[in-house]
Chains A and B, each alone.
Chain A
Amino acid sequence: MPGFFSPFITKPDSVSQIMLKVLMALIPGIALYVWYFGPAILVSITLASLTALATEALMLRLRNRPVMPFLKDNSALLTGWLIALSIPPLAPWWLVVIGTAFAISVSKHLYGGLGNNPFNPAMIGYAVLIISFPVQMTQWLSPHGLGAIQLGFIDQLNYIFLGVFPEGIKLDALTMATPLDTLKTQLHLDGQIREILDMPIYGRLAGHGSEMVAAGFLLGGLYLLASRIISWHIPVVYLGTLFAVAGLFHLLDPAHYVEPLFHWFSGAAMIGAFFILTDPITSPSTHKGKLIFAAGAGLITYLIRAFGGFPDGMAFATLLMNICVPLIDAYTQPKVFGKKEQKP
């Protein structure tokens, strides 16, 4: 039992408080989400939270671990929220439940639970869903004012849980492809960037509505930086790399490569930079390592977005870089006190 040996005092700071702050930092983005896309996302978040806690408790019990201290650490909740935020809100209820349950049980607990998972559980959940249920995963709601019809909250609930729409309405009328998706499709159809961006789904920087949600995550991310929950290394270098690579292509061929700010405010770039890549368990622990990790993720994100088969590359970039973490850490060990001049 600690408390018998020094130090006898500790900072009143706990894993659960850290996770709670991260959850709080997600709120501006979620609020804007509700504003632009309706309250369906709150239903997914609630479903994800319940599933996450239930799965966590079950797995802890199965692994014969104390349930309460771990449930209170809020880490499962965070995984659930991130999954809810990465899948279409107007999806059947089982989608978010399967994704969350898989993330917590397989990619967290089968790897040894909190602190031992090599991959970001939320991204594993997302990857499993997009591969297994590609159709459901692309039914994104159109923002207010853009879709042919808007659905009320009750109608949204009816669809999520019962799969029924008010009479005469079809799913197609409510949803559309994401801005990144649309861009990709249009480019394939030989569109030019300038014409494509004139389409109504685009706003000032990127997708109408979604760009504001990204800005909300940026705001929350800045709060995390200010309260020293995360360090600058990963978000700055990730966004910097994404900007630099996208900027380079854009400069070379502006007609076919969209400008870098579009990339920042599209898809999961912002939430990824501040909330996903910065997950301490699955990112390097050395400063140098963080820089390499973030630069790699930025590059891969861009490559998948511009040339790959999926509209957004954030999740796969995260998972690919997660694999490299032990190696990066091993090769970036800094010199210790008093031994800096020596060659290793």
Chain B
Amino acid sequence: MRSLFKFHGGIHPATNKAQSNHKPIAQAALPSRLVIPLHQHVGNSAKPIVKAGQHVLKGQIIGAPEGHVSSAVHAPTSGLIAAIDMQPVAHPSGIPDLCITLIPDGHDEWSAREPCADWKALSHTDLRHRLRDAGVVGLGGAVFPSDMKLYSHKHQIKTLVLNGAECEPYITCDDLLMRERAAEILQGAEIMRALLYAEEVLIGIEDNKPEAIAAMRSAVLEGRHERMEVISVPTVYPGGGAKQLIRVLTGIEVAAGVRSTNLGVQCFNVGTAYSTWRAIRHGEALISRIVTVTGHVGQPQNFEALIGTPMDELVAQAGPLPDTRGYIMGGPMMGIRLPSAEVGVIKATNCLIAMSDSLFPPALPALPCIRCTRCVDVCPAELQPQELFWFAQSKNLLKAQEYHLFDCIECGACSYVCPSNIPLVEYYRFAKSEIWAQETSKKAADAARERHEYRELRIEREKQEKADKLAAKEKAALEAKALKSAAPLPPAVEGANVSLCDAPVDADPENTMQLKIQAAIDHAKQQAAVSKPENTEHLTPQQQAEIATIEARRARIRELALSSADEHTKE
């Protein structure tokens, strides 16, 4: 028996997985249309490379990756491109994004695929290119382009962690995937291991999924995978968070802002390993994924759904019920409320939960914090959520950072236990976005000041240069005069000019100016350093995407805060 490690805190909400995990994965019906956002991953949006009216084949690239961090987007089936325009997307803000609308022709006709029977014959660069072109991104929810994460030097990474923990309530897509497609997941893991030069593969699965554990274990034996171990980990939320799973399996704590690869670990979701295998072995792009449809529906089940499938068409196959009050994409702990049921399934859609008042009762009004520290007891990042709340509420952003606001993984465990019903995570998101906003504007201000200071210096320099020339001219004229008439020198017209002229060569104006400019720039830089810019300075693309998300939420919170204040006063 391998000895496991613990992480601090965690909660045990009702898992609600039994509803959806007893039926096999069903193939979702071909929808009437597909709405495919071009920005489904972390990084740059894909660039549309098709035109409205064009006919495309299944698996054909319709959005090309742009820039370093980006991923391709493909036609999930054959059909006609109906539109390329702004559409609502699966984002809580409800802000539309660029989408390609595809009307399936019903033939489901594949474009040419490039399968590869022996991936070991391919170079690592080639493998990574194939993954990027196949649009493979992290399917655990982070949707970070996988090719970017599958890069390492030899002997840097010891352990590849495969995440099959699936700790969020309700979600069972990874559970079913592992039960039904274990062998292919492990094949994908082998490709990942090779790309990372990792020694061992540890697959963590929470012990509430005995069938998946058994299936994966027998697949390890049958596939004769060496140094690959399926490990049953205790069921505790958020045990499936990458940091938490790495901690449980290896004992390593990846602090905020540290790359796990520097500590010798890399972590992928089991679904990503599966897609990796399909992409490399069969040349299939990531055009579908497993989605758990559950909650307030008649027949909860997992579906293999094409990317772009409108959520309502998917729910229709699970027996929608009246009194549905909305939909959550993802789990109830970290998921998002969908702005509309018509948005398309994206690569991050692991679960769709129909909400009813009985399953998700409206939250009670928040009371003041009573410092009961239940939140401290459950926080996996070992923070003091009640202090963070206090600082966020009073907008004491510096203090909030001092108390490690940016180490918060927004798991929601604190909000879950808070007896005062305080939406704590909302406050943290708000505070983070405030800080980002401040730093962004601070940077803009710094840049402006720098420009301004530079301009002042330039003007001054030009003045002096002019004066300089004038003085030189006058001097020359005077000298000429003197030579001619041998008359005595008149007093200097402008003292400054004289002194500049008399200055030693090594302090020539050009040099002095440059020193001054450099000093000004240094000063500006120092100022910026004092105000702790690191939060926006070294943002991962993921965080940048988050900022956008949070910006939208922030506006919403303001609105909500106002309305709830109203309510309170009314009561």
- Give the interface of A toward B (CB within 8 A): 1-11, 13-15, 17-18, 64-70, 73, 75, 113-116, 280-281, 283, 285-286, 329, 333-340
> A69, B365: Cβ atoms under 8 Å?
yes
Give chain A residues whose Cβ lies under 8 Å from the Cβ of B491.
none
The answer to the question of B563 belonging to the interface, with a C-beta cut-off of 8 Å to chain A, is yes
Q: How far is the CB of B547 from chain A (nearest CB, A)?
A: 16
Give chain B residues whose Cβ lies under 8 Å from the Cβ of A13.
374, 417, 419
Proximity bits, B417-448, A CB within 8 Å = 1, else 0: 11111010110010000000000000000000
Give Cα A6 to B395, complex, Å: 22
Proximity bits, B387-414, A CB within 8 Å = 1, else 0: 1000000000000000110010000100
* Contact flag A280-B372 (CB < 8 Å), given A5-B337, A66-B571: yes
Q: How far is the CB of A261 from chain B (nearest CB, A)?
A: 31
Give Cα A125 to B7, complex, Å: 43
Partner of A10, one of B255, B256, B336, B363: B363
* Contact flag A3-B370 (CB < 8 Å), given A14-B421, A336-B407: no
Give chain B residues whose Cβ lies under 8 Å from the Cβ of A329.
387
Residue of A with least CB distance to B170: A9
Give chain B residues whose Cβ lies under 8 Å from the Cβ of A9.
13, 169, 332-333, 360, 416
Give chain B residues whose Cβ lies under 8 Å from the Cβ of A283.
371
Give chain A residues whose Cβ lies under 8 Å from the Cβ of B419.
11, 13-15, 17-18
> B426, A5: Cβ atoms under 8 Å?
yes
> B11, A1: Cβ atoms under 8 Å?
no
The answer to the question of B123 belonging to the interface, with a C-beta cut-off of 8 Å to chain A, is no
29 contacting pairs across A/B (C-beta < 8 A): A1-B362, A4-B556, A5-B556, A6-B330, A6-B334, A6-B335, A7-B425, A8-B332, A8-B335, A8-B337, A9-B169, A9-B360, A10-B363, A10-B417, A18-B372, A18-B419, A66-B569, A68-B571, A69-B571, A73-B367, A115-B369, A283-B371, A285-B371, A336-B255, A336-B382, A336-B383, A337-B253, A337-B255, A338-B256
* Contact flag A337-B386 (CB < 8 Å), given A1-B564, A7-B412, A7-B425: no
* Contact flag A6-B368 (CB < 8 Å), given A64-B569, A337-B8: no
> A286, B370: Cβ atoms under 8 Å?
no
Residue of A with least CB distance to B561: A1
> A5, B425: Cβ atoms under 8 Å?
yes
Give chain A residues whose Cβ lies under 8 Å from the Cβ of B382.
334-337
Give chain A residues whose Cβ lies under 8 Å from the Cβ of B418.
10
Q: How far is the CB of B442 from chain A (nearest CB, A)?
A: 25
Q: How far is the CB of B241 from chain A (nearest CB, A)?
A: 11
Give Cα A13 to B92, complex, Å: 28
Give chain B residues whose Cβ lies under 8 Å from the Cβ of A285.
371, 373, 376, 384, 386-387
Scoring A10, A14, A66, A281 by chain B CB atoms within 10 A of each residue's CB, the highest score goes to A10
Give Cα A231 to B556, complex, Å: 38
Closest 10 CB pairs of A and B: A338-B255, A115-B368, A7-B412, A2-B363, A338-B253, A66-B571, A2-B423, A3-B363, A8-B332, A280-B372
The answer to the question of B30 belonging to the interface, with a C-beta cut-off of 8 Å to chain A, is no
* Contact flag A11-B571 (CB < 8 Å), given A280-B373, A339-B255: no
Q: How far is the CB of B416 from chain A (nearest CB, A)?
A: 5
* Contact flag A5-B383 (CB < 8 Å), given A114-B367, A338-B254: no
* Contact flag A281-B371 (CB < 8 Å), given A66-B571, A69-B365, A338-B256: yes
Give Cα A292 to B357, complex, Å: 46
- What is the number of residues of chain B that contact chain A, defined by CB distance less than 8 Å? 66
Give Cα A10 to B363, complex, Å: 8
Supply 15 further A-B pairs (C-beta < 8 A) apart from A9-B332, A15-B419.
A2-B423, A4-B337, A5-B553, A6-B330, A8-B360, A9-B416, A14-B420, A73-B367, A113-B368, A333-B384, A333-B403, A336-B382, A337-B253, A337-B255, A339-B255
Give Cα A85 to B337, complex, Å: 49
The answer to the question of B26 belonging to the interface, with a C-beta cut-off of 8 Å to chain A, is no
Give Cα A68 to B365, complex, Å: 11
Give chain A residues whose Cβ lies under 8 Å from the Cβ of B243.
337-338
Residue of A with least CB distance to B380: A337
Q: How far is the CB of A82 from chain B (nearest CB, A)?
A: 16
Q: How far is the CB of A117 from chain B (nearest CB, A)?
A: 10
Give chain B residues whose Cβ lies under 8 Å from the Cβ of A17.
419
Give chain A residues whose Cβ lies under 8 Å from the Cβ of B563.
1
Give Cα A2 to B423, complex, Å: 6
Residue of B with least CB distance to A14: B419
Give Cα A68 to B567, complex, Å: 13
The answer to the question of B529 belonging to the interface, with a C-beta cut-off of 8 Å to chain A, is no
> B332, A6: Cβ atoms under 8 Å?
yes
**Interface set, chain B 126-183, CB cutoff 8 A to A:** 169
* Contact flag A3-B362 (CB < 8 Å), given A10-B416, A337-B8, A337-B255: yes
Give chain A residues whose Cβ lies under 8 Å from the Cβ of B255.
336-339
Residue of B with least CB distance to A325: B371
* Contact flag A280-B371 (CB < 8 Å), given A4-B560, A66-B365: yes
Scoring A69, A75, A285 by chain B CB atoms within 10 A of each residue's CB, the highest score goes to A285
Give Cα A39 to B333, complex, Å: 50
Residue of A with least CB distance to B254: A338
Residue of A with least CB distance to B423: A2
> B571, A116: Cβ atoms under 8 Å?
no
Q: How far is the CB of B408 from chain A (nearest CB, A)?
A: 9
> A7, B370: Cβ atoms under 8 Å?
no
The answer to the question of B415 belonging to the interface, with a C-beta cut-off of 8 Å to chain A, is yes
Give Cα A1 to B365, complex, Å: 8
Give chain B residues whose Cβ lies under 8 Å from the Cβ of A336.
255, 381-383, 404, 407
Give Cα A65 to B570, complex, Å: 9
Residue of A with least CB distance to B371: A280
The answer to the question of B538 belonging to the interface, with a C-beta cut-off of 8 Å to chain A, is no
The answer to the question of B568 belonging to the interface, with a C-beta cut-off of 8 Å to chain A, is yes
Give chain B residues whose Cβ lies under 8 Å from the Cβ of A4.
337, 556, 560
Residue of B with least CB distance to A340: B253
> B258, A338: Cβ atoms under 8 Å?
yes
The answer to the question of B355 belonging to the interface, with a C-beta cut-off of 8 Å to chain A, is yes
> B425, A280: Cβ atoms under 8 Å?
no
Give Cα A6 to B338, complex, Å: 12
* Contact flag A11-B416 (CB < 8 Å), given A3-B360, A65-B568, A339-B255: yes
The answer to the question of B305 belonging to the interface, with a C-beta cut-off of 8 Å to chain A, is no
Give chain A residues whose Cβ lies under 8 Å from the Cβ of B368.
113-116
Give chain B residues whose Cβ lies under 8 Å from the Cβ of A337.
7-8, 243, 253, 255-256, 380-382, 407
Q: How far is the CB of B224 from chain A (nearest CB, A)?
A: 36
Q: How far is the CB of A254 from chain B (nearest CB, A)?
A: 41
Scoring A2, A15, A18, A329 by chain B CB atoms within 10 A of each residue's CB, the highest score goes to A2
Q: How far is the CB of A100 from chain B (nearest CB, A)?
A: 20
